[in-house]
A and B are shown apart, each in its own frame.
Chain A
Amino acid sequence: MMWKRQNPAYLIAHTIKLLSAWAALSGPVIGLYLLYTADRSLSAVVVIAAAAALIIIAAITAWSRNRWRLGRSLALRRGVLTTITCILRRHSFTAAEIKRSPFLSLFGSVRISLYTHADSRKNASCSALTVKRDTARQLAGRLMPIDKGYTREYRARRGELFLLALSQSDFLSGLLLSIPLLSWATRHIDRNLSARIYTAFESAGQLILPDVSPLYSAFALIPAAGWLTHTVYSLFAFGRFRYVRSGGSIMTGRGIIVRKTLTFPVDAVTAIESRRTLLTGMLHRESCRAIIPGAGSCLLLPPTDRRSSVIETAAIFPHGEASMRIDTADCTRWWRWWGTAGAALLIISVRIALTAGRWRELLLLLLIPAVSVLFWRTLVGADAGKKAGIRLFSDSVEITGVRGLSTYRLRVLRGCIAEIKLTQNIFQQSAGLCSVYIRPHGALHGLRCCHMPMSRCMSLIGRLG
């Protein structure tokens, strides 16, 4: 087999990446130099042009040396001075992801990432290739063949996608996403955009909170704006979601502008995670994700009704015979502490609101979100408390608990448990309780179930062994 080069789209993307990294690192230094020395001579321009040319030559050399070959195994070769050849055996692949972006579509190419049995995505860059669309399809077909068996296709409805976007958005990610967008829009569309947005926030804030000063009322709207931005981004990222199960293979596709198609065999799935937020819980729905070593967590189903989710996940992990169940009243008791803390903070907030101190508005701005989060956590804890526990099946373990502000149910195959941790603080030691943490192979985070009886947990571990 001949060594093949990657598509020229990779060269252009790589050059832009290198040039922007160089501009970000050396731009301020060059800018300051030109500002203070007032050097407008030709030599300064020549030096900058030479540096840019050097970067372009380096990118071309790297691209020409970056080659791949598919024989009995996939071989990837890269490096200019030191050549690195990476050989990946066919049976070591767990998933293949084809990414199609508008930029790559201009060249008729796609980016294919091949994931192996690694713990994280950090080794993925080694096995990502930019190739023609047909080549990518052939490559994925040969490395990750799709079984021609019983086929079931599921397309997410608009309402489900909206619920998914709404339930998995957070304002911090939205704010982080909006910073580059805002800076780009300020530079290219309107120089006074930031000032205009602030004025709009101020006037909207004054309508909602007329007694608060304009600055604080504008700040109060920032979390809502961040949340909205992330929701819109999630709608684009998960739009046109499609799930196809064909025989022993699963294929998921998502994204409106950047389309990502992930293919993986059912055997590669180590765990299935179901998530219930307060909103989806009220609508009796839950979303499901599959844990795949190397590729991480992949969305299987957007918030659908519990029955459909159970049927669909049972097709991937058929339920074995249940042999043990641990759930205790103790795990429902502790959410009350969050509620007590929230109530205490609420009383303090009301007292502050009634006084006319100097820091009144700032304190209220900090306390109101804290009270909201604590009450939210209380409600999630109360909801999860009814279901929290561990169930042992003949082939798997199911753990239900709270992570962040959502209730999760994690079902791990017995042979795919990477770690079990039992933790006891001094209060739990005296009460004979413990917190159980189970992490499946290939997942970044596991799930913790708090305040379980230590003796029963030890007997569960004995049965697992």
Chain B
Amino acid sequence: MACGVPQKCSGRYTHLIRAYIISVCTVLISAAFLVAVSIGTAVYILPAALTAGSLLAAITLPDLYVSGLTYTRHRNWLMIERGLIFRQTLLIPRRQIQYIRLCRGPAERIFGLATLVFMTSAGKVSMHGLDPVEAERLRRLLERTE
């Protein structure tokens, strides 16, 4: 990872976000369906709308979000750009990073992804959707003294 060059996160991160959206929406649709059945009327418009909305979100949102998620390693800063509606550029001074943790949860292991968690004097900053090899390399690069 070259210094000052914006890097994209792994393409597999879209699948993980899609899986999250689908799982949350499945729960919501099931609840809406149960409510519709318990009311006993033919009000199935809510589950139908939820299904259509979640399908649309699962198709479009992950790609849009991941395309806007970049991180750049500068000489003294680490810059993370993210967000769709509220676009956020986060700058963390390298000397303020106290330690870095590499996390891989069950879902991330399935999709072959990793998360880097930076503990800074301002709090915790997470960088999701990284390739494990790339994450390990970035961790080593950032831990190296300037």
Is A419 a contact of B122 with CB atoms below 8 Å? yes
Q: Is B96 a contact partner of A421 (Cβ separation < 8 A)?
A: no
* Contact sample, A vs B, 12 pairs, CB 8 Å cutoff: A119-B122, A293-B121, A418-B122, A419-B90, A419-B123, A420-B90, A422-B90, A423-B87, A424-B86, A461-B91, A464-B77, A465-B76
Contacts of B76 in A (CB 8 A): 465
Instruction: Tell me, rounded to whole Å, the shortest Cβ–Cβ distance linking B67 to chain A.
Output: 15
Please measure, in the bound complex, the distance between the C-alpha atom of A415 and the C-alpha atom of B92, giving whole angstroms.
12
The reply to whether B121 and A423 form a contact with Cβ atoms under 8 Å apart is no
Task: Verify B88–A422 contact, CB threshold 8 A.
Answer: yes
Interface assignment of A425: CB less than 8 Å from any CB of chain B:
yes
Contact of A119 among B77, B89, B92, B121 (CB under 8 A): B121
In the bound assembly, the distance between CA atoms of A441 and B120 in angstroms comes to: 9
- Which residues on B are within 8 Å of A, measured CB to CB? 74-77, 85-93, 95-96, 120-123
Residues A465 and B77 in contact, CB atoms below 8 Å apart: yes
A425 touches B93 (CB 8 A): no
Q: What is the size, in residues, of chain A's interface with B at 8 Å between Cβ atoms? A: 21
- Tell whether A424 pairs with B87 under 8 Å between CB atoms, given A415-B95, A417-B93, A465-B77: yes
Residues 357-376 of A at the B interface (beta carbon under 8 Å): none
* Residue contact A461 to B88, C-beta cutoff 8 Å: no
Task: Report Cα–Cα, A461/B75, bound state, in Å.
Answer: 12
Partner of A419, one of B86, B87, B91: B91
- Quick one: which of A419, A421, A426, A465 contacts B120, CB cutoff 8 A? A419
Residues of chain B lying within 8 A (CB to CB) of residue A465: 74-77
Q: Is A439 an interface residue (CB 8 A)?
A: yes
Q: How far is the CB of B94 from chain A (nearest CB, A)?
A: 10
Q: Determine whether A342 belongs to the interface, using a CB cutoff of 8 Å to chain B.
A: no
Contact among A293, A419, A426 with B92 in the assembled complex (CB-CB below 8 Å)? A419
Chain B residues whose C-beta falls within 8 Å of the C-beta of A425 in the assembled complex: 85-87
B85, B88, B121: the one contacting A418 at CB < 8 Å is B121
- Does any Cβ of B come within 8 Å of A442's Cβ? yes
Is A429 in the interface zone, CB < 8 Å from B? yes
Smallest CB gap from A457: residue in B: B89
By beta carbon, the residue of chain B nearest A461 is B91
Residues of B within 8 A of A422 (CB): 88-91
| Known A426-B85, A461-B77, A465-B77: A439·B122 in contact at CB below 8 Å | yes
User: Measured between C-beta atoms, what is the minimum distance from B54 to chain A in Å?
Assistant: 23
A424–B84 Cα distance when bound, in Å, is 10
Q: Are B77's CB and A423's CB within 8 A? A: no
B residues within 8 A CB of A415? 93, 95
Within 8 A of B (CB), among A388-446: 415, 417-426, 429, 434, 439, 441-442
Q: Which residue of B is nearest A418, CB measured? A: B122
A421 x B88 contact (CB < 8 A) = yes
A119-B121, A415-B93, A429-B87 known, 16 other contacts, Cβ within 8 Å: A417-B96, A418-B96, A419-B91, A419-B96, A419-B123, A421-B89, A422-B89, A423-B86, A424-B89, A425-B86, A425-B87, A439-B122, A441-B96, A464-B77, A465-B74, A465-B77
Q: How far is the CA of A327 from the CA of B90 in the complex (A)?
A: 21
Which of the residues A426, A442, A464 comes within 8 Å of B121, measured between beta carbons?
A442
Q: How far is the CA of A423 from the CA of B121 in the complex (A)?
A: 20
Cα distance A54–B17 in the bound complex, in angstroms: 54
Complex A-B, nearest 5 residue pairs according to Cβ-Cβ distance, in ascending order: A418-B122, A422-B89, A419-B122, A420-B91, A424-B87
Complex Cα–Cα for A201 and B56 (A):
58
Asked if B120 and A418 make an inter-chain contact with CB atoms under 8 angstroms apart, the answer reads yes
User: Are A441 and B86 in contact (CB-based, < 8 A)?
Assistant: no
**Distance to closest chain A CB from B82 (angstroms):** 11
Contacts of B91 in A (CB 8 A): 419-422, 461
Report the bound CA distance from A419 to B75 in whole Å.
Answer: 16
When C-beta atoms are compared, the residue in chain B nearest to A436 turns out to be B89
CA gap between A293 and B88 in the complex, in Å: 26
Please measure, in the bound complex, the distance between the C-alpha atom of A115 and the C-alpha atom of B85, giving whole angstroms: 41
Complex Cα gap A420–B95 (Å): 14
Q: CB-CB < 8 A to B86: which residues of A?
A: 423-425
CB distance from B78 to the nearest CB of A (A): 11
CA distance A415 to B74 in the complex (A): 15
Which of A118-155 touch B at CB < 8 Å?
Answer: 119
Q: Which residues of A contact B121 (CB under 8 A)?
A: 119, 293, 418, 441-442
Chain B residues with CB below 8 A from A293, complex form? 121
CB-nearest residue of chain B to A426: B85
Which residue on chain B has the smallest CB distance to residue A414?
Answer: B93
B71 to chain A, nearest CB (A): 14
Q: In whole Å, how far is A450's beta carbon from the nearest beta carbon of chain B?
A: 13
- Rounded to whole angstroms, the CA-CA distance of A418 and B123 in the bound complex is 9
Q: Please, which residue of chain A has its CB at the minimum distance from the CB of B88?
A: A423
Q: How far is the CB of A390 from chain B (nearest CB, A)?
A: 13
- Give the docked Cα–Cα distance between A418 and B121 (Å): 6
Shortest CB–CB separation between residue B92 and chain A, in angstroms?
A: 6
The winner among B95, B96, B121 for most chain A CB atoms within 10 A is: B121
Looking at the assembled complex, report how far the CB atom of B84 sits from the nearest CB atom of chain A, in whole angstroms.
9
Smallest beta-carbon distance B75→chain A, Å: 6
Query: Which residues of B sit under 8 angstroms from A119, Cβ to Cβ?
Result: 121-123
Compute how far the CA of A424 lies from the CA of B81 in the bound complex, rounded to whole angstroms. Answer: 11
B124 CB, min distance to chain A CBs, angstroms: 11
Inter-chain contacts of B93 with A (CB < 8 A):
415, 417-418
A429 to B81, CA, bound (A): 13
